[in-house]
Structure 1
């Protein structure tokens, strides 16, 4: 499924609830890591250099002579000859270059604070596809979606505060607005846990 609208991203529950870092990671990616030119997504640095903690994601058993159905079943992302890379592991070498607002809630004793990932398909010097997913354990991912270029451009044109506010569930947005109209400060909110559906791949 491709997410084209902010409301679709919000409803996917990617990066929520706190201390998950996916929304901040996605904002950094759209705001600072990619530029858009003539319909192309150009990365600030090539993911193959392991900048910002990017590393190769082996989506499938890449064997040119073996195109069996099990490769398609086991692939998390569409099977292509182009390489995939993922970013978001705050333990990865280079991840210290991510901005502090992405890393601020990380606690190695809290797995949910390091479960979100962005995956990209690299075609030469530009990004051909962008996906979001959540890392459940070494081999399992869940709630994987493609992010459209239009949605990334929309995020790029927003402030972080505005983006995070729009990612709050509608009932929370309404509740917070009611509190503000009543003269209260912005309230904290509690979000429901995402479902445990996952997709395991052979790495």
Structure 2
């Protein structure tokens, strides 16, 4: 991929609470570009900082590096792992909010089990970054959706890293602030569910908020009418 707009065509990081776009933005800001325009990391991913760990590439979905003992694949993005606390809040917040709701998901009619799917895979030689891919992890196995692995060009990575977060999210997805499913949930759930979910979700925008307020007003008007009707008996 060479353009931000191309990210709109894939599922990576779009539906709540998936975090891929924010993860990609964080990683792009982490990468250094030297005088020769080569990409470098200022840390060794082999130390498992930020939750980086080896990606085995057993099924050879990515270019084979077995003839290059100094080249490795690493993967990052598990926001439920022991090193996830090292990731910035804006990357993990939606998943944490969803995790708060997890024990209630049967009641709410929501399924957040796939919220922790997005990953970034990098190919490195020492700290030199040779390639970057976005991918999806299958929960709860250790397998990856190899039909949806996309390489991110160095130019795109640089453009993402030089932009602001809101600017990038706006270009990468026209609805990243809220998915249609979230708006549907807000508009069709009861007022208590709406208010509870709105308090937990930090990404609501003005359109969804107006829909929420409108729904709550209608809901309480119905309750008020019913209470008056019952009292009439």
TM-score (norm: length of structure 2): 0.64
- 1:47 Cα deviation after fit: 0.7
Pick one of 105, 118, 121 that aligns with 1:119.
Answer: 121
Q: State the Cα deviation string for residues 76-121 of structure 1 (Å, max 9, x = none).
A: 2111132100000112232210000000011444222211000001
Pick one of 131, 138, 144 that aligns with 1:140.
Answer: 144
TM-score (norm: length of structure 1): 0.73
Structure 1 gaps of 5+ residues are: 61-73, 173-184, 190-203
Contact 2:72 2:123 in 1 (8 A): yes
- 1:186 Cα deviation after fit: 4.2
Pick one of 7, 13, 31 that aligns with 1:34.
Answer: 31
Alignment of 1:34-183 (within 5 A): 34-37=31-34, 38-60=36-58, 74-81=59-66, 82-106=71-95, 107-108=98-99, 109=102, 110-137=112-139, 138-141=142-145, 142-169=147-174
Contact 2:19 2:94 in 1 (8 A): yes
**Residue 187 of structure 1 aligns with which residue?**
207
Structure that is richer in strand per residue: 1
Contact 1:51 1:95 in 2 (8 A): no
Higher mean C-alpha displacement, 107-116 vs 82-91: 107-116
Contact 2:135 2:144 in 1 (8 A): no
Q: State the Cα deviation string for residues 144-190 of structure 1 (Å, max 9, x = none).
A: 100000001110111101111112249x9xxxxxxxxxxxx74349x
SS at match of 2:156: helix
Contact 1:116 1:133 in 2 (8 A): yes
Q: Report which of the two structures shows the higher radius of gyration computed on alpha carbons.
A: 2
SS at match of 1:80: coil
